[in-house]
Amino acid sequence: MNESFKVTRKFHVARRQHGSKQLHEGAKNDVPTGRVPRVARLMALAIRCQKLIRDGVIANQSELADFGRITTARMTQIMVLLNLAPDIQEKILFLPRTERGRDVLKETDVRPIASTLDWRKQRRMWAALQRDLEDANASSR
């Protein structure tokens, strides 16, 4: 228990006015600002849940819902996001972070697209949604 260990960390001490010193811990630009949009987190969760079921860790969506302490209906809503075309899933996963206020894109906006099984129609619906969001964003400025 009396083992010793060594922690090594680089830091920089800068001199300020009147000889006072200030400790700088690396560049602040490395940490992204804002938060990941909720719909992107749900998309990632759906992908993770699908992998758990596929690998046999969890038997089915119902068991997954019990494990996550949500209703089976809510789990179904989350898993329906997997019906989206792969390129739309990727766009959702890489949405820009929300700096302040509400997320621009909501899960309820995406649900009608995900319930459509034709990927070509999904892409048209996605493009229309993007245009609507851009128009709403432009008018709110």
Tokens of 100: 């302040």
> What pTM does this model have?
0.75
Residue with tokens 């959702």: 92
**Poorest-pLDDT segment among 25-29, 36-40, 72-76, 89-93:** 25-29
114 within 8 A of 84, measured Cβ to Cβ: yes
Residues near 53 by beta carbon (within 8 Å), at least 6 away in sequence: 59, 60, 61, 64
Task: Report the alpha-carbon distance of residue 81 to residue 89 in Å, rounded.
Answer: 8
78's CB contacts (< 8 A; 6+ apart) are 42, 45, 46, 49
Contact 44, 34 (CB under 8 A): no
Task: Report pLDDT digits (tens) over 44-99.
Answer: 999 999 999 999 999 999 999 999 999 999 999 999 999 999 999 999 999 999 99
